[in-house]
Structures are given as C-alpha cells and as structure tokens.
Structure 1
Amino acid sequence: MNKLIILMIFLLFPASIFCQTERYIYQTEVNPDTINLVNMKVEKTFLDIKADKSLFISESKLLRDSLIAVLRSQGKLDGKKLKKDKSEFPKLPDGKSIQLTFFEYHITKDLETKSVDLIENVGSRQVYYQEDRKMNWEISTETSDFNNYKIQKATMNFGGRKWTAWFAPDIKISDGPYKFFGLPGLILKLEDDKGDYRFSFIKKINIPNSFSETIKPDARKSTRINFQGDKASVRMEMVTNKDPEINFDSFNRMNQRNSGMNGGFGNQNIMQNGDVVGGQPDVQMGNSSSPTTPNSGNVNFINTNPIELKNK
C-alpha cells in the first residue's frame, strides 16, 4: 500500500492544482546547535517558480504534505489507529521514512506585488503571516563563477544575521531560497556570516505536474510578532474540538522522531495526552524548542540555531 501512495498522488488530484513549474534545487546545510559540536545537517530544498510566483519548500516537507493530502482525500487520517499501527504510515518506495526537516513551513512569493508569505500547517489548518521587512541588498562589483554561471556578490543584514548572496545576472529571475528576493538575477549561493546556513544551487528541472501549496480559505492570518501564539491558539482549538487531524499531526511528528532521521530537528512541541499542543517559542520563523512532557518516553530533538535570530 505504501509504495502505491506516491503513484496515487498523480492520479487522485484534479489538474487544477498542478502546473508547469521550473524547480531550482538547492543543497541546504544547517548547523543545528552552535553550543555543542555537531555535524552540519544536509537536506534538499526547492524553489518552484511559475511566471511571477514561487514556492520555497523542503523536499521532506513536500513529500510529507503530498502523502498526507492523499490520505486526507481517502479519509484515512485516523490518528488513533495510526498510533497503534505505525506500519500504516506511508513510507517511500525504498522503505525509508521521510526525513525530518529544518523547514516545517513553506514560503510563497509574488514577485509582481513583492509579497512574501510564510505558511505553517497545524494539522489540517494553516497559520501564516506576510513578511513586512524590506530586502535592502548592497550589491558589490565582485564576481565569481559557479556551476557554469557568472555570479555577483550582494550582502544584507536580515533576521539578526549578515547574509552573503551570489546571484546570476544571466538568470533573469529576481528570487532565491527562503524569503530572499529582490536582486537582478537568481540567487545561486547564500550563506550567513556564521556559516550556520548555506544554500547551494545544484540544478534546475522542469516539473510538468508539481504539487502546489496554497493558502487555504480557513487559514489563520497572523503577524511575525504573534505567529507562535496564533499557532498555539489554533492547535488548542483543534485539541478542544477533538479534531482527528491533531492526533494525526502528533503521530506524524512522533513517527519522524522515532525514525532517528538526520539527527532529529525541526519544530518540536510538548506532547500532552498524545496531542501536540505547542511549546515556548524559540523565534518567530517556525522552530520552537520545548521539553517533552515528563515520563512521556519521547525523545526531544531541538534546533537551537534558528535561521532568524531576531524578530526585527
């Protein structure tokens, strides 16, 4: 059954949610802990572009969201059943589970209106906010070569880090990984001054039937400042209403933790009675660090090195 799930993604969804897309694939390296000596964690992230709109999402999140969407369409999001039988949770065709990701959210951009939205799932609900800070790049005359492209240097202070971007003037797309955009060419390399986050362009592919992530009509609109609080509020509403997808959300996170993937990191929250109910926010961008409930038996993995250090 699990091997068929991925194939069904392309069969069950109406054509309206698919589109011809240019996918720019980045190798993304993250240092999860600046206090303890640990290895850089590596995952792939995607920048999917069609016309003047784009989607930034990690490979792991895209796979997981696609599989959950198929399960939801089949009415199989029974969290209690899944927690009793973890074998029912879909795996990849090679039998491996989907890796944890540092990016438990996706980011959409409208390059025409210059709007940037960060959206995170809470069970079947979404919470999102629109980025309200400008991208004030300082473009240098320094150039280099990368992946057969001529690239040019630009720097900017953003979210408590100093970022260095290398963009390709020959690729006429004013976009890049994460929230970054606004340069006269696609960002192919991006790194902060501490070396904690690195994005390196690998290749471009065309996706005729890409799965899209959109803001749902019932999504909770928030702000950068109130984002963590609104996420916790939505989760509590779902727990209070005994929404079955909160159970599934809990199981999904537990399943990933117990698989021991990539060292374990991401948006982890306190477990109460089998449900994820939120934790103390680490920063506004979506990673929260919190202890597990005493005697819960769950391993707690924490990313102590968020991509944005300041909410300014």
Structure 2
Amino acid sequence: MKIKLLAFFSLFVTIVAQGQTTRYIYETSVNPDSINLVTLKSEKTFLDIKGDKSLFISENKLIRDSLFTVFKPDDKENHKKEDRKLVKPDMKKQPEPTFFEYYITKNISGRKVYYHDKVMGKQIYYQEDRPLQWEITEVKENQNGYPAQKAVAGFGGRVWTAWFTKDIAISDGPYKFYGLPGLIVKLEDDKGDYKFDLVKKIKIQNSYEEQASPDAKESTRLSFRGDQAAIELEAGRKKRLPTGAEKGGMNPGGGRHGGGMRGGGMGGNGMDGGRGMPDSGFSTATPQNNISQNPIELK
C-alpha cells in the first residue's frame, strides 16, 4: 500500500511538467484568536488542478519554500532544465507567515484526500478518513461572479457552508473540501473564523514540485501527532553530542511550540510548525511566530 501511495504522489508532482495547470486563487480570511473575534487576517491560497489531480497550498508557503519557477520567454518549445530560472527569495526580508504550513493533494474522481507535512526535513503524510456528507439546498445566488448553489456539511467540529458553481464542472474546492457537482467558489464556517473566496482563475506552467521520498512516513489521521513526535525524537538522538553533556538529558531537537493551525489542533493531530530544513538550497524553516491559535478543525 505504501509503495502504491508513493507512486501516486510521484505521479502527481510530475504532471505539472507535462502541461498547463489551472490555478484557482482564493482570498482566504482567518480569525487567529479562538477566544475573541479579532480582525481577520488574510492570505491567498491556491487550488491547482491538472487532470484528475489537485493541490491545495498557500501562496506564503510557496514563496517561503522557494518553489516558484519561471522559464525564459524564448524557451517555449523545449523548457530545458538548463534554461530554467529559479526565483530566489529576498533573504534579507522576513518571510510572511502562513496559516497553512502543509499542503493537501486529492485524487478528484477517486475522492481521496492526502495531507502532507514535513518534520525535521522528513516527509510525513496521511489519507483523510472522514468522507464529507453534503446537504445540497435549493438556495441559489450569485457568488464571486458565478451562479452558485448552497450546500452545508459538518466537518472537524464546525458546520461549513459552501457555494458551488456548475459553470466549472470540477468536484473540488479549497482545503479538504470536495464532492459537490461543481467547483466551490465560496466556503465559510459557522463560527466566522474561516472564509475562502474564489477571486481569480489563471493558467500556469509550473506548480508545486516535491518528489516523494522513499523514506516518507505514512501515517494515519489519528496517529499523526504521535508519529511527528517520534520523528523529532529520532532526530534528537542523531544530534546528541558524544560527550558527557548527553547525560544531562536528550535534546529532542526543534520541539513543537506552534499553536492553532500549526500546533495543538488540526483534527486532534497537532498540525503544527517547527519545520526542518529540506535540501532545497534555501532556508525553508518556519518563522517562529505563532500566527494562529485557532485550528481549522476543532476535533
């Protein structure tokens, strides 16, 4: 099973090099405080769709992880590797924080959703095990420039209202949401903490590209937090100094201190920060400023 999943992930990340991807851009508003209703914070999130596969990821994560690539204008035919330019981030500028320190892939027709994260440089993922049960209403309105229909579903301790349009016949949407007879153009929860509004549709040549590692850790939603801790513990063992200092206690190496969407909450699995540094040639460590105390999933 693990080999099959890794093969699926490898297929997903390579399709972006074989043609254009459609990117749906959502203006995403988040209330970072789980107690008080404060000013909503906004960032852009992307839903990239190519064929039967999709990817949900935040713009700030892409920028921070140096994953935007462009080709030279005169390289429309071959797109040779040597002609590729990597857009390097400004190392002097502090990367913008994100509420989404992970990315999500879907097999749209198969209705399979995968959550991907990285701990101490090691890939870890799980397959979502809670199918969405939508109640499609007869209410129809124009939403974000599209004729849309209202649907409601309970998920992760919240009640979510989605507006989908049949004008875009793709059964997908932001985050883990999917399964309606059209693309979700607006999505919000009953607590007023999260809101996704489709604002733009563009064509791109490149999307997120991260090859699935042979040693990627396959987990489950319920075991995810424990598996994250185990990876950190193992990394801490490898970093111990071979001196008397280790007798004073083992440094677990970059423990979890995040809150909200990056700590202590996502589906009870602690989807959090404290990222390692992938071998990308650029620093992709997560800024240590807990921007969220309010998880998108409450249980």
Tell me the residue number matched to 1:306: 295
Q: Secondary structure at 1:182's aligned position in 2?
A: coil
Which secondary structure state, in structure 1, belongs to the residue aligned with residue 206 of structure 2?
strand
What CA distance in whole angstroms lies between the structure 2 residues aligned with 1:207 and 1:159? Answer: 32
**Inter-CA distance 213–137: structure 2 relative to 1 (3 Å threshold):** farther
- Determine which of 254, 258, 266 is the counterpart of 1:276: 254
Q: Distance in 2 between matches of 1:163 and 1:179?
A: 12
Q: CA deviation at 1:304?
A: 2.2
Paired position in structure 1 for 2:163: 166
- Within a 5 Å distance, the mapping from 1:1-312 to structure 2 comes to 18-19=17-18, 20-66=20-66, 91-92=89-90, 96-213=93-210, 215-242=212-239, 275-278=253-256, 281-283=264-266, 284=268, 286-288=270-272, 301=290, 303-310=292-299
* Residue 106 of structure 1: how far off its partner (Å): 0.4
| 3-state SS, counterpart of residue 66 of structure 2 | helix
| Contact 1:30-1:40 within 8 A present in 2 as well | yes
- Matches of 1:53 and 1:214, distance apart in 2: 15
The structural deviation recorded for 1:113 is 1.7
How far 1:236 moved relative to its partner?
1.9
Distance in structure 2 (CA, Å) of the matches to 1:149 and 1:189:
10
Residues in 1 aligned to 2:21 and 2:164: alpha-carbon distance in whole angstroms: 20
5+ residue gaps, structure 1, are 1-13, 70-89, 244-271, 291-297
RMSD: 3.0
Structure 2 Cα separation of the partners of residues 111 and 18 of structure 1: 19
Query: How big is the shift at 1:235?
Result: 1.8
Tell me how far apart the structure 2 counterparts of residues 15 and 162 of structure 1 sit (CA, whole Å). 35
Measure the CA separation in 2 of the matches of 1:49 and 1:112.
Answer: 12
Q: CA-to-partner distance for each residue in 1:81-118, whole Å, 9 max, x for gaps? A: xxxxxxxxx7449x643211111110000012211000
In structure 2, list runs of 5 or more residues that go unmatched: 1-12, 70-87, 241-249, 258-262, 275-286
Q: Secondary structure at the match of 2:195?
A: strand
Alpha-carbon distance in structure 1 between the residues aligned to 2:41 and 2:15:
35
Q: 1:274 and 1:132, CA in 2 relative to 1: closer, same or farther beyond 3 A?
A: closer
8 Å contact 1:26–1:200 — kept in the other structure?
A: yes
Question: How many pairs are equivalent?
Answer: 241
Change (3 A) 1:109 1:203: same
| Moved beyond 4 Å, runs of 4+ | 14-17
Cα distance in 2 for residues equivalent to 1:15 and 1:138: 35
Kept after mapping to 2: 8 A contact 1:120/1:286: no
Q: 1:287·1:303 contact (CA, 8 Å) conserved in 2?
A: no
Q: Distance in 1 between matches of 2:14 and 2:226?
A: 36
Q: Percent identity?
A: 53
Report the Cα distance in structure 2 between the residues aligned to 1:37 and 1:110, rounded to whole angstroms: 35
SS in structure 2 at match of 1:241: helix
Q: Which structure has the highest helix share of the two?
A: 1
